[in-house]
């Protein structure tokens, strides 16, 4: 999709990779009222300079913007990231050049929470397996009105461990409590974020006590691959791992082995270390593993909130106000 709208005497805005934000079910109209706007679904590197040459404002989701890209754009004043994470932008280079960088946080919390429990309930209730069994004649061949393919746990009997207790982690905790789960968390600020019904423990104790561990921390050098065979080996039975955070948080080969050895009863993964994954990624054929294509954030309502926030960030920048400023 290429869309260009013009408003006289207003800044040039270029959306470099707008498809994941708006695959066609949202309206760009409010954005187009802000100036001369060019919207591209995706921008290959060889077309970057041509498309962004006159841009004063760039809107990017995952497109990489480094020092060389900034130096090619003499009019650039603002990089508006249509996401929470901004590691695709060289923020130091932007600061050195007087280019403002803004992002959006908090827009996807309800969407991620429902996806966490969609993955968990899908694993516990074996929804996919039972559906496949029924549709291949399994139910029709039964003598009884009901059958199960394996033992089904009840979610209220399981302990939920939440690694990271920011806005999303806190909302996951509330949902877990509503299901009747005992909730534990490992968090940097347990006293500041003390929550009724939630017990804060060490990371090792979180895995030792929890039947379900859900990951909600940002990825950094200190926690890359932190969910490994040692932590997974501490979990009681049954044991489920849910990752809607970042793929790099887990050692994928250790998770694969834990699934093969039935140490993990199931894994629900919305993120992988490489996205899109190669066709031979080992977890794509792992037993008892549900994988979704990084869609936990992507409900229509969440994407609308994201677009609205991007627009408000741009409007604030024009007024000279600080809003969601990274640098």
Q: Which of 246, 252, 303, 305 is catalytic?
A: 246
Instruction: Look up 115 and say whether it is catalytic.
Output: no
Instruction: Look up 246 and say whether it is catalytic.
Output: yes
Distance between CA atoms of residues 325 and 79, nearest Å: 10
Dihedral of the CA atoms 15, 1, 111, 64 (nearest 10)?
Answer: -40
As given in the structure block, the two tokens for residue 260 are 């093969």
The verdict on residue 131 lying in a domain is yes
- For residue 120, the domain's CATH number is 3.40.50.720
The count of residues in the chain is: 327
Distance between CA atoms of residues 288 and 155, nearest Å: 17
Range(s) of the domain holding residue 149: 109-291
**What tens digit of pLDDT does each residue of 57-104 get?**
999 999 999 999 999 999 999 999 999 989 899 999 999 999 999 999
The verdict on residue 324 lying in a domain is no
Which helix (H) or strand (E) covers residue 309, if one does? helix 300-318
The verdict on residue 184 lying in a domain is yes
The verdict on residue 171 lying in a domain is yes
Residues 101 and 113 in one domain: no
Evaluate whether 216 touches 168 at the Cβ level (below 8 Å): yes
Residues 87 and 133 in one domain: no
The verdict on residue 323 lying in a domain is no
Tens place of pLDDT per residue across the chain (327 aa): 555 444 434 569 999 999 999 999 999 999 999 999 999 999 999 999 999 999 999 999 999 999 999 999 999 999 999 999 898 999 999 999 999 999 999 999 999 999 999 999 999 999 999 999 999 999 999 999 999 999 999 999 999 999 999 999 999 999 999 999 999 999 989 889 899 999 999 999 999 999 999 999 988 899 999 999 999 999 999 999 999 999 999 999 999 999 999 999 999 999 999 999 999 999 999 999 999 999 999 999 999 999 999 999 999 999 999 999 999
Q: Which of 154, 275, 315, 321 is catalytic?
A: 275
Evaluate whether 123 touches 106 at the Cβ level (below 8 Å): no
Distance between CA atoms of residues 159 and 173, nearest Å: 11
Instruction: Look up 294 and say whether it is catalytic.
Output: yes
The verdict on residue 250 lying in a domain is yes
Number of domains the chain contains:
2
Distance between CA atoms of residues 243 and 204, nearest Å: 17
pLDDT at 1: 55
Q: Which of 51, 97, 294, 323 is catalytic?
A: 294
Residues 218 and 188 in one domain: yes
The verdict on residue 38 lying in a domain is yes
The verdict on residue 325 lying in a domain is no
Provide the 8-state DSSP code for 277.
Answer: P
């Amino acid at each position: 999709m290429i869309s260009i709208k013009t408003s006289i005497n207003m800044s040039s805005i270029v959306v470099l990779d707008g498809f994941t934000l708006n695959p066609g079910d949202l309206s760009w109209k409010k954005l187009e009222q802000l100036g001369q706007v060019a919207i591209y679904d995706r921008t290959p590197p060889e077309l970057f300079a041509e498309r962004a040459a006159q841009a004063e404002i760039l809107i990017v989701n995952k497109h990489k913007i480094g020092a060389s890209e900034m130096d090619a754009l003499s009019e650039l004043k603002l990089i508006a990231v249509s996401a929470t994470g901004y590691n695709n932008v060289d923020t130091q280079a932007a600061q050195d050049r007087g280019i403002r960088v803004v992002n959006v946080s908090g827009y996807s919390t309800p969407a991620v929470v429902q996806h966490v429990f969609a993955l968990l309930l899908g694993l516990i209730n074996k929804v996919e397996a039972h559906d496949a069994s029924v549709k291949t004649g399994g139910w029709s061949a039964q003598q009884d009105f009901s059958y199960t393919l394996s033992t089904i746990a009840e979610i209220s009997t399981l302990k939920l461990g939440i690694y990271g207790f920011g806005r999303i982690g806190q909302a996951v905790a509330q949902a877990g409590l509503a299901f009747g789960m005992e909730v534990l968390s490992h968090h940097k600020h347990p006293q500041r974020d003390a929550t009724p019904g939630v017990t804060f423990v060490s990371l090792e104790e979180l895995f030792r006590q929890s039947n379900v561990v859900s990951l909600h921390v940002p990825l950094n050098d200190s926690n890359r691959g932190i969910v490994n065979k040692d932590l997974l080996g501490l979990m009681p039975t049954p044991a489920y791992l849910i990752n809607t955070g970042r793929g790099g948080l887990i050692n994928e080969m250790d998770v694969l082995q834990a699934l093969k050895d039935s140490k993990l009863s199931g894994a629900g993964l919305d993120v992988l270390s490489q996205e899109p994954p190669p066709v031979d990624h080992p977890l794509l054929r792992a037993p008892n593993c549900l994988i979704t294509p990084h869609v936990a954030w992507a409900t229509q309502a969440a994407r609308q909130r994201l677009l609205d926030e991007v627009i408000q960030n741009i409007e604030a920048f024009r007024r000279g106000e600080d809003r969601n400023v990274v640098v």
